[in-house]
Structure 1
Amino acid sequence: MAERILGNELKTLSAEPWVNIELKDDNLFHWNVALIVLNPDSLYYGGYFQVYLFYAVVATRRHFLRPLFHPNIYADGKLCISILHAPGEDEMSGESAAERWSPAQRVESVLISILSLLDDAEVSSPANVDAGVLLRKDREAYKKMVEKDVESSKRDIPEGFVMPTHEEANKPPPKEEGDENFWYDSGVDDTSFGGSDSDAEMTFGEDDEEQEDESEEEDDEEVEDMDERGGSRGAATPVP
């Protein structure tokens, strides 16, 4: 079951411009994912950040292969994010079970959460205290650190890989052949297609009833006529 779900997710995500995925040793449970930041408003715009993900029922291991200077990323690249924490309640962190890892979590939702975390850091309990302090007190200095990480990440872009742009990622999907003529004015009265079968049956039913009434009236007239004729023939003839 898990392999089928992961296989479907791999197929779907492989078509997305913001990720570049390779399986480690062709194992569906071990993913090397490059997150490509295509949002021009992000401090991390243009970055190619490699993340290792291991899918498991109990919890998912995850870390950046090249550590980033970020309040929620440890010095060894490990991520501190609630959606990837072990299942269950945690009174110390205040996280509910719904916020933590579950096997029902999709890989896509995990990756989107990681991307969101980059620009929306949690500084109240940072994994990297220095990064948290710098972000709060000197945003410009923090921004310069981020720019260094973005430039360093570009060294990991595979040879021959073409980085997508923001414009390409937001380009509308191509229209399928025949889409423009799918809805066209055929010149035929819409009511020809708008009525239901039941409406048609009702119309036919009314016509049938009228025909039946006419037939019954004709039959009654014939019977009355026959009665009149039979009565005149069957009357007693006076004896002279």
Structure 2
Amino acid sequence: MAAGAKQRLMSELKDLEKEKWVKIELDDGNLFRWIIGLMVINSESAFDGGYFKAEMSFTDKYPFSPPTFKFTRPIYHPNIYPDGNLCISILHPPGEDEQSGELASERWSPLQGVETVLRSILLLLDDPEISSPANVDAGVMYRDDRAQYNEKAKESVKVSHQDIPGGFTMPKTLDEAPPAKVADDDAFWVESDTEDNFGASASSDGEDAEMDDEDGEEQESEEDQEEEDEEEDEVEE
């Protein structure tokens, strides 16, 4: 079981290392404990610019058992407890829960993965579930005074910058940089035009020469025919 969990985690870690919106380190090299920097790169989000540090832990039964997730600093949010623990359906054990009303499709399953969890958390930050909040005050403020709530979110973002690792630059956008300009671009077009002109000249010259030859041959044939006709007339006379 542990071997399967390690293989799965190594594969997921390798894929997530390519992403710009998350930074992952292993806690003392322990594959079952991840230190995560979850970045909000969305100009429309109240938490835009945030670098939210968190801990994620796995058991040797992963992916059949869900991981745990906890922010290391408090975030003022309806679904985040004051100690940083998170209330989100995808981290709840598989199966339906009649008491909470959560469907099996909303909860953890082996088909889920770390990336799915992290993306769900990013969505939850901007679209909280306030019907059963972990932080009641935050839920009420989100509902009744969005402007003040957004100010609280900005405060959380500012505090989160204390956890940005030294030498690390927060990305401003998730878009890839545009491709580099082709070197000697102007020369490229000049060369292309020259080649086209030469090509057109060679082709047209060849066609003109063939047409001249054909015209010449037709003219010579007509002159020969006229001479033959004149000779026949002289003989008859």
Q: Same fold (TM over 0.5)?
A: yes
Q: Distance in 2 between matches of 1:173 and 1:4?
A: 35
Q: Distance in 2 between matches of 1:101 and 1:147?
A: 31
Q: Write the deviation string for residues 112-147 of structure 1: whole angstroms up to 9, x where unpaired.
A: 001110001001110100000000010111111111
Which residue is equivalent to 1:117? 124
Which residue is equivalent to 1:211? none
Q: Give the secondary-structure state (helix, strand or coil) at the position aligned to 2:36.
A: strand
Q: Does the Cα contact within 8 Å between 1:21 and 1:34 map onto a contact in 2?
A: yes
- Offset of residue 174 of structure 1: 5.1
Q: Write the deviation string for residues 155-190 of structure 1: whole angstroms up to 9, x where unpaired.
A: 110111111111xx2125759x9xxxxxxxxxxxxx
Counterpart AA for 1:22: E
Which residue is equivalent to 2:52? 49
Which residue is equivalent to 1:31? 34
Establish whether residue 152 from structure 1 lines up as the match of residue 159 from structure 2. yes
Q: Distance in 2 between matches of 1:27 and 1:65?
A: 18
- Offset of residue 154 of structure 1: 0.3
Counterpart AA for 2:37: A
Q: Does the Cα contact within 8 Å between 1:54 and 1:60 map onto a contact in 2?
A: yes
CA gap of 1:15–1:126, structure 2 versus 1, over 3 A, is same
Q: Distance in 1 between matches of 2:49 and 2:90?
A: 25
Unaligned segments of structure 2, at least 5 residues: 183-237
Q: Distance in 2 between matches of 1:157 and 1:13?
A: 18
Counterpart AA for 1:68: I
Q: Distance in 2 between matches of 1:77 and 1:51?
A: 8
Q: Distance in 2 between matches of 1:121 and 1:105?
A: 21
Which residue is equivalent to 1:65? 72
The 5 Å alignment of 1:77-92 reads 77-92=84-99
- Offset of residue 26 of structure 1: 1.0
Q: Distance in 2 between matches of 1:141 and 1:39?
A: 20
Establish whether residue 17 from structure 1 lines up as the match of residue 24 from structure 2. no
Counterpart AA for 1:109: T
Unaligned segments of structure 1, at least 5 residues: 178-240
Q: Distance in 1 between matches of 2:107 and 2:58?
A: 14
Counterpart AA for 2:34: W
CA gap of 1:22–1:81, structure 2 versus 1, over 3 A, is same
Q: Distance in 1 between matches of 2:166 and 2:39?
A: 16
TM-score w.r.t. structure 1 length? 0.69
Q: Give the secondary-structure state (helix, strand or coil) at the position aligned to 2:23.
A: strand
Q: Give the secondary-structure state (helix, strand or coil) at the position aligned to 1:29.
A: strand
Q: Quick one: which of 171, 180, 195 aligns to 2:176?
A: 171
Q: Distance in 2 between matches of 1:102 and 1:26?
A: 26
CA gap of 1:25–1:104, structure 2 versus 1, over 3 A, is farther
Percent of counterpart pairs with the same letter?
A: 54
Q: Distance in 2 between matches of 1:171 and 1:98?
A: 33
- Offset of residue 78 of structure 1: 0.4
Q: Distance in 2 between matches of 1:119 and 1:144?
A: 14
Q: Distance in 2 between matches of 1:86 and 1:2?
A: 17
The 5 Å alignment of 1:208-223 reads none
Counterpart AA for 1:170: D
Which residue is equivalent to 1:3? 6
